[in-house]
Structure 1
Amino acid sequence: MNASNTLADNGHVSEVVLRFSCNDQPGIVAAVANAFALQGFNIRESSQFEDPHTGKFFMRTVLSSCQGEKSLAQVRSVFQPLAQRFDMDWQLHDYQYKPKVVIAVSKWGHCLEHLLNSWKRGVLPIDIVAVVSNHQDMASLCQWYGVPYHYLPVTKDTKAEQEQQILALMQELAADFLVLARYMQILSDNLCQQLKGKAINIHHSFLPGFKGAKPYHQAHQRGVKLIGATAHYVTPDLDEGPIIEQAVERVTHANTPDALVEIGRDVERVVLYRAVLWHAQHRVLLNEDKTVVFNR
């Protein structure tokens, strides 16, 4: 099964990135290497993982053409029979393509600012095409970075309409995925389904502990010695989507809830940045309710 690809992927390429999963069986790696060698590609980077619990095989490979630019559509067409032979769930992209991203934010801008700064410096290979918010607090920051800001207020009665506005904006801008950078709204089941595998959230807790609201205050009440943050794909089950990245920071009994919030914000910035980076580089593969992340 070939997953959908953006229209921007359909030109000519000199480098491609392939990622796939399938049932584990002999000969997969050799067949893939041979198929691309026959098309004049050289393997530049490759990672693989066999999950003994699910019997699934996962692979991500970056390949460089030794014969100049090639039609990506043609490369896909040639690979299709092999993908069918092994019943692969696969994607093949232009390695140089920068995914278009819409970021959603509420009142807290620390994660948004880190993403904008990394993008502006050229170290985060994405194209931030818009920021949406249910508040106006981050408008001036986005104006400074030159990113269109869309103020989309939301109430309980207007939630469906506001979410449709977000989806319509993503479609208009041909956005590849959505990043919830401390967007303090719970997405509806409908929107979660439409953005399956294409919406990344940062939760200010080391999941699965301290779900829901005010996790730092929950952590303080429990007297924890480590606090953390979790970046995960959004699903209809609150704070239970497949985890992409996590990190922790040591704290003590002397830290107040407000101090934990400040410490946690630094962790959130880094964790969300890594998750967005790895997703943009096609390093994250879904493995049922978990992920395989080829980040090394």
Structure 2
Amino acid sequence: MTTTTAVERPVITPASRKADPAQPSVLRKLAPPVVVAVVAVALWWIAALLVNSLIFPTPAEAMHSLADDLGKAEFRANVLDSLRILVLGYVASTIAGTLLGLALGVSAFWTRAILPIFYSVNSIPKIVLYPIFLSFLGIGELSRAGFTFYAAFVPMFLVAVESTAAVQQIHLKMAASLQVGWPRLIRQIVIPSALPALATGMRMTFGLAFLGLLLAEMFSSSSGIGYELLRNVSLVRMENIMGTVVLIMVMALPPTIALQWLEHRVTAKYGG
């Protein structure tokens, strides 16, 4: 008499999935940028020690000056003012650029008619057009917000139009044969196809919006972190300059990481 032994299959639990060495851990993902940051700080410190100049501060001196600046209420108010305008300008430019780009990108005629104009505008250095904003919006918060919006709106609009125009024609023809209405066409075909490119555009335009804000504050403003940076430059306070630069990098890092994470998630879900 023969007996058969049932083969036990291994049970895959959430704990075993986490222990899978093939899946990259959070530590492994964070290790490369942390190593690069440590190496950059070390090179900065070595260069400052080798130059041994009064105008080239060490990282410790820059951080000490930044701590002193952050202890001042006026400096903190300028930083918060820049953050507020940056968020408003970036969000408005992202929404407006995406909606207008999706609306125009579904029309081949308007795509051919408008894209060359916007590409020409986008090729002009941003700072060249800033006097126009000053002329119409004046020196103050409105011109800073307007220039921040413009710096991110044009590239976001171009990304939205290009991604919408790149939707596969077979999908559009199938929708036309099924007599799919425009709202459903946009919602179920155009937007899912364009989402990966739109997520990439959101990540790229954040830096452009921040750059536009800093340029506006440096050239014609009495507040903001760009104003603080230009004032330190005029007074040749290198410790404060380097500290402010580090602060700007720290301010830009969390949104950039979040937008990069969003881009990866959207691309993984809709990229195929």
Return the TM-score normalized by structure 2.
0.23
More strand by share: 1
- RCO higher in structure (CA 8 A, sep ≥6): 2
Q: Higher helix share goes to which structure? A: 2
TM-score under structure 1 normalisation?
Answer: 0.22
